[in-house]
Amino acid sequence: MKPPVFAYERPSSLTEALVLLAEQPGARLIAGGQSLGPMLNLRLVAPSLLIDISRLAELAQAGTEADAIVIGAGMRHAEFEDGKVPSPLAGLFERVALGIAYRAVRNRGTIGGSLAHADPAADWPGIMVALGAELKIRSRRGVRSIKAAKLATAPLETSLEADELIENIRVPRYSGDARKGHYKISPKPGDFAEAMAIIVHDPARTLARAVVSGARQLPKILAETSRIVSEGRGGSALENAIDADLAGHTLSSYERRLRKACVLRAASEVLG
């Protein structure tokens, strides 16, 4: 298949990109193109204009503040893998990025593109929900912030307006005593997740957050599981909490078992 006919622009600044996005109905942004490219070729989308933001310096920076790590939406998966993006929990970003597809994809795909695409089987959406990340959304009209947990409204759908883009992701910093657990089940290494769990526990901040995601299911915070982890409890108490949290999810018995296995593996890393 060949993509439909479209116009193409490569703005030299974020301001120019936002003007194009606001003034051209039907425009779409492209950075790495690892999701949009196949969708164009399959004619699942037919934009009137592609706005290439892959070389915008404003989106390709990452740094630290007193209480947060700020990650430009244009940062590539490979930059996380190579440790060029500070991780709020030692080794977490490197580990997650290494499990995304293969190196050629990681060299091009961006974290902002992954979040905006909102594929429930992707890695970054669930990770950012578990970390309590906040997204800075910019348009020609102004700036707003939104929690990562509120971005996706359905698989492949978000609360972003047509003239908005993700500028950066702000991830809270965690104490030196914080622990994390992450486990992903996929058909083979690098594939999208059939199921994935991420658990973050920081006693110094009295914070525990367990999140599960996977094929067909947006990232979900498991409230009872989070509470049990915060109390340092495993065994039957943890299993019962996971069962209770997953009971309300629209999942097949197989999907539920996969997710429970992921949460138990992730929790074993946190609880030791």
pLDDT in tens, 150-159: 999 999 999 9
Q: List own/partner pairs for 188-193 with CB under 8 A and 24 or more apart.
A: 189/99, 190/99, 190/100, 190/101, 190/102, 191/101, 192/119, 192/121, 192/122, 193/121, 193/122, 193/123
Q: How confident is residue 207, by pLDDT bands cut at 50, 70 and 90?
A: very high
What's the Cα-to-Cα distance from 209 to each of 7, 67, 99, 153, rounded to whole Å? 44, 18, 21, 20
Q: How confident is residue 248, by pLDDT bands cut at 50, 70 and 90?
A: confident
Average pLDDT over residues 199-204: 97
In the predicted structure, residue 90 carries a pLDDT above the cut 90: yes
pTM of the model: 0.95
Residue 189 neighbours by CB distance under 10 Å: 10
Average pLDDT over residues 194-218: 96
> 15: closest CA among 66, 56, 43?
56
Residue 18 neighbours by CB distance under 10 Å: 21
Q: How confident is residue 2, by pLDDT bands cut at 50, 70 and 90?
A: confident
In the predicted structure, residue 29 carries a pLDDT above the cut 90: yes
In the predicted structure, residue 1 carries a pLDDT above the cut 80: no
The tokens describing 193, both together, are 């997740």
> 180: closest CA among 202, 153, 159, 158?
202
The pLDDT, as a whole number, for residue 3 is 87
What's the Cα-to-Cα distance from 65 to each of 53, 96, 154, 195, rounded to whole Å? 25, 22, 32, 33
pLDDT in tens, 139-186: 999 999 999 999 999 999 999 999 999 999 999 999 999 999 999 999
Average pLDDT over residues 122-140: 98
Average pLDDT over residues 85-113: 96
The pLDDT, as a whole number, for residue 192 is 92
pLDDT in tens, 221-247: 999 999 999 999 999 999 999 999 999
> 176: closest CA among 67, 73, 90?
90
pLDDT in tens, 4-16: 899 999 999 999 9
> 217: closest CA among 105, 97, 110, 119?
119
The pLDDT, as a whole number, for residue 120 is 92
- Name every residue whose Cβ is closer than 8 Å to that of residue 23 and which is 6 or more positions away in sequence: none
Domains of the chain: 7-52 (3.30.43.10), 58-172 (3.30.465.10), 179-271 (3.30.390.50)
Yes or no: say if 143 and 231 are a contact pair by the CB < 8 Å rule. no
Q: How confident is residue 59, by pLDDT bands cut at 50, 70 and 90?
A: very high
